[in-house]
Amino acid sequence: MPDPKPLEGIRVVELARVLAGPWCGQLLADLGAEVVKVERPGAGDDTREWGPPFVTGAEGENLGAAYYHSCNRGKRSVAIDIASAEGQAEVRALLADADVVIENYKVGGLVKYGLDPVRLRADFPRLIVCSITGFGQTGPYAHRAGYDYIVQAMSGFMSLTGEPEGSPQKAGIAYADIFTGMYSAVAILAALRRRDVTDAGAHIDMALLDSQVAVLANQAANYLASGAVPKRMGNAHVNVVPYQVFATADGQLVIAVGNDGQYRKLCGILGVPEWADDPRFANNAARLANRAELIPLLAAKIATWEAQPLSLALEAEGVPAGPINDLAQVFADPQVIARGMRFRPDGASIDGVASPIVIDGERMVAAGGAPPLPRHPGLEPGPALSCRR
């Protein structure tokens, strides 16, 4: 018998849609929690329609957009109209035996349904309520609707992304939503651990803007330490040189030199060992100060190599480097294949991307795929709605 997953026995009710809340719920499901997703009758989560591409079932039925399947693995869906008294009672029936509820309504949006965090905490003292909003439960923007794209802009992230002379750029995926979903899962796990000691639930206040500001990392620290506003640097690194994309004779290669020893090895491979001792380039601080001189010199040498031989030479000397893959190349990569990152959930019509978490050799990923939208509203019998033993 396999060991139980870490969150087996934990029940989560997901009153959330689109990405941040569902991403959090999917991560908890991967870790073994029972996640019941509450959806609008007839329509379901907004992302069911965010296609093409759409997923087709074995009998030709429309199973919704691929987007929906990306963040709802391992859950059970119920269709409940929370605007009705009957629907509110059905949600409460779920919460009576739940450990966690994830909700992403606007601040105060659940009050009229009697399902707001204050009411739920009063009625279910051991319940952990995780509220996910754009700007949090407090502050001058608390009433605003929050969207990933807007938060990427407001957080400063876009000001750091893109070419120096180009426009600010958003990320190619919804980073604010995804980071908030991950931070929410961490917060829920912490609240569950605290409940083990205090027997009390909690209200977790998660904001997309908070999360995106939090992951500004070294760029935020650089600004707070110096007062200098960071600028866009394309594929170069603000603190490390050389650490960027270089053009080879037949393609592009990322070379990420993280210390002076790696820089010395790079110079040896390129046939210019004297550049490692040149006082303009001998250490990272000097290379930063003289970036404009060094990068063209390196670029000219690297351009004489083909990408694969150079990559192999760098790997042999422990200098980090790698190609810029498209997604077809990613899922054909032998390391990605060996790690099982592409897999087919039980009963699913399409492959999915596995969770990156591996514990004691077992990848923490829910076996089942994303649930279909129930044909009829209301609670239906099934494993996710059975009484806890």
Confidence of residue 389 (pLDDT cuts 50, 70, 90): very low
> What percent of the chain has pLDDT above 70?
97
Helical axes 307-316 vs 260-269, angle rounded to 10°: 130
**Is 282 found in the same domain as 203?**
no
Answer yes or no: is 31 within a domain. yes
**Is 258 found in the same domain as 142?**
no
Number of separate domains in the chain: 2
Domain residues for the domain of 287 are: 243-324
**Hey, CA dihedral for 140, 142, 144, 149, is it positive or negative?**
positive
**Is 172 found in the same domain as 268?**
no
Looking at residue 30, its pLDDT comes to 96
Cβ neighbours of residue 198 under 8 Å, at least 6 residues apart? Answer: none
Answer yes or no: is 226 within a domain. no
Collapsing DSSP to helix, strand or coil, 11 comes out as strand
CATH (domain of 275): 3.30.1540.10
Confidence of residue 198 (pLDDT cuts 50, 70, 90): very high
Answer yes or no: is 290 within a domain. yes
Token pair in block for residue 305: 């190599």
Looking at residue 374, its pLDDT comes to 85
Instruction: Give all strands (DSSP E) within 126-279, no chain letters.
Output: 128-133, 202-207, 243-247, 252-256
What does the alpha-carbon distance between residue 286 and residue 288 come to, in Å, rounded to a whole number? 5
**Is 313 found in the same domain as 345?**
no
Selecting among 177, 250, 260, 278, the annotated active-site residue is 177
Answer yes or no: is 47 within a domain. yes
Tell me, yes or no, if 177 is annotated catalytic: yes
Confidence of residue 183 (pLDDT cuts 50, 70, 90): very high
Cβ atoms of 218 and 144 closer than 8 Å = no
Reply yes or no on whether the pLDDT at 28 is more than 90: yes
Cβ neighbours of residue 68 under 8 Å, at least 6 residues apart? Answer: 45, 47, 48, 50, 370
Cβ neighbours of residue 277 under 8 Å, at least 6 residues apart? Answer: none
Residue whose tokens read 């992304």: 161
Reply yes or no on whether the pLDDT at 375 is more than 90: no
- Give mean pLDDT, residues 127-140: 97
Answer yes or no: is 234 within a domain. no
Answer yes or no: is 2 within a domain. no
Q: What is the pLDDT of residues 309-346, one digit of tens each?
A: 999 999 999 999 999 999 999 999 999 999 999 999 88
CATH (domain of 25): 3.40.50.10540
**Is 283 found in the same domain as 154?**
no
**Is 158 found in the same domain as 15?**
yes
What does the alpha-carbon distance between residue 38 and residue 378 come to, in Å, rounded to a whole number? 10
Looking at residue 60, its pLDDT comes to 82
**Is 125 found in the same domain as 89?**
yes
- Give mean pLDDT, residues 92-111: 95
Looking at residue 385, its pLDDT comes to 45
Looking at residue 347, its pLDDT comes to 81
Reply yes or no on whether the pLDDT at 382 is more than 60: no
Reply yes or no on whether the pLDDT at 164 is more than 50: yes
> What percent of the chain has pLDDT above 90?
85
The pTM score is 0.90
**Is 39 found in the same domain as 142?**
yes
Answer yes or no: is 350 within a domain. yes
**Is 320 found in the same domain as 352?**
no
Reply yes or no on whether the pLDDT at 381 is more than 50: no
Greater pLDDT, 380 or 334? 334
**Is 183 found in the same domain as 115?**
yes
**Is 285 found in the same domain as 191?**
no
Reply yes or no on whether the pLDDT at 75 is more than 60: yes
What does the alpha-carbon distance between residue 340 and residue 338 come to, in Å, rounded to a whole number? 5
Answer yes or no: is 225 within a domain. no
**Is 179 found in the same domain as 60?**
yes
Reply yes or no on whether the pLDDT at 386 is more than 60: no
What does the alpha-carbon distance between residue 188 and residue 228 come to, in Å, rounded to a whole number? 36
- Give mean pLDDT, residues 362-372: 91
Confidence of residue 69 (pLDDT cuts 50, 70, 90): very high
Q: What is the pLDDT of residues 221-279, one digit of tens each?
A: 999 999 999 999 999 898 999 999 999 999 999 999 999 999 999 999 999 999 999 99
Q: What is the pLDDT of residues 342-358, one digit of tens each?
A: 999 888 888 999 999 99
